[in-house]
Amino acid sequence: MSKLPMVGALFWTIKIVATTLGESASNFVSMAPLNLGYATCAIIFLVAFALTLTMQLKVDRFRPAVFWSVILATSIVGTAMSDFMNRTAGLGYAGGAIVLTTLLLIVLIGWRVTGQTMDVERIATTKGEVLYWTATLVSNTLGTSSGDFLSNGLDIGFRDSALLLSGAMLLILAAHYWTPISGTVLFWAAYVLTRPLGAVAENAVEKPVAQGGLGVGTTITSAALLAVLVVLVGYQLLTHRHQTRTVDTAPPTGGQHDHQPSVRG
């Protein structure tokens, strides 16, 4: 049984909210108001990532709260690592984006070579799940770099970058319905793009007006996004429990060797 969620509108909505919160929460810890620095923030949330990932690998089926906790941890640590690479280590936005894009391609190609399925709804082995989370961590780190490269490196600005990335997501959606392009390829393209979309959207709201944002601030932005995330994950948890209970109590429809299908929300 796969421990990853079904991919649909709810999945993408929560993914965007979680990755947007990851950007805001990382800024909250590494910059104002806590000002702990990028390296300290990265270390703290690497530990959080390790703990949540351990829980995810140990559960026996899809658990929404656990799964999205890992996604959130990868988003926060990815933001901190990206900012450290680009700003403190001096790679710059373009340099960081190139390095992380290369690393993500290596991870995805290596995954392909292992023979493990890249269809996330069919991942049912520990090895496949580890590969999934490795790709997730790298893609969420890349997302911050690519978002910063678009909005700052190319001087497009936060809002225009968000519109550009939203357009790219719509093109992927259209390709899903009207082209023969592999669904797995389109999934990973969208999966990677949700991170820079969340990054630039968050910056467009949080950053001061002088920097092209709305000036809402990190604290309010983080609190609002966390509230939305809790509501969405709670809704998914309730619907998932209902679906699972329905399947578990349904009478068998075939012979004695038939198996009931698993249902994930």
Closest CA to 136 of 229, 67, 83, 199: 67
- Phi, psi (degrees; rounded to nearest 5) at 5: -75, 160
Q: How far apart are CA 219 and CA 210, in angstroms?
A: 18
- Phi, psi (degrees; rounded to nearest 5) at 89: -80, -15
The token duo for 138 is 């790298």
The token duo for 8 is 């649909």
Digit-coded pLDDT (tens) for 167-191: 999 999 999 999 999 998 999 999 9
Digit-coded pLDDT (tens) for 228-256: 999 999 999 999 887 777 665 656 555 44
Q: How far apart are CA 197 and CA 115, in angstroms?
A: 30
Peptide bond before residue 33 is cis, with ω within 30 degrees of 0: yes
SS3 letters for 114-180? Answer: HCCCCCHHHCCCHHHHHHHHHHHHHHHHHHHHHHHHHHHHCCCCHHHHHHHHHHHHHHHHHHHHHCC
Closest CA to 193 of 104, 130, 128: 104
The whole-number pLDDT of residue 259 equals 41
Peptide bond before residue 196 is cis, with ω within 30 degrees of 0: no
When pLDDT is cut at 50, 70 and 90, the band that residue 116 belongs to is very high
- High-pLDDT (> 70) share of the chain, %: 92
The residue-averaged pLDDT of 259-265 equals: 39
When pLDDT is cut at 50, 70 and 90, the band that residue 18 belongs to is very high
Closest CA to 191 of 77, 75, 96, 48: 75
Q: Any long-range contacts for 109-112 (C-beta under 8 Å, 24+ apart)? A: 111/135
Which H or E run includes 39?
A: helix 38-58
When pLDDT is cut at 50, 70 and 90, the band that residue 263 belongs to is very low
**Count of CB atoms situated within 10 Å of the CB of 68:** 22
CB distance 57 to 68 below 8 Å = no
Using alpha carbons only, give the angle 72, 78, 82 rounded to the nearest 5 degrees.
Answer: 155
- Matching residue, tokens 């600005």: 157
Q: Where are the domains of the chain?
A: 9-245
Residues 6+ apart with CB under 8 A from 162: 197, 200, 201, 204
Using alpha carbons only, give the angle 216, 217, 221 rounded to the nearest 5 degrees.
Answer: 80
| pTM exceeds 0.85, yes or no | yes
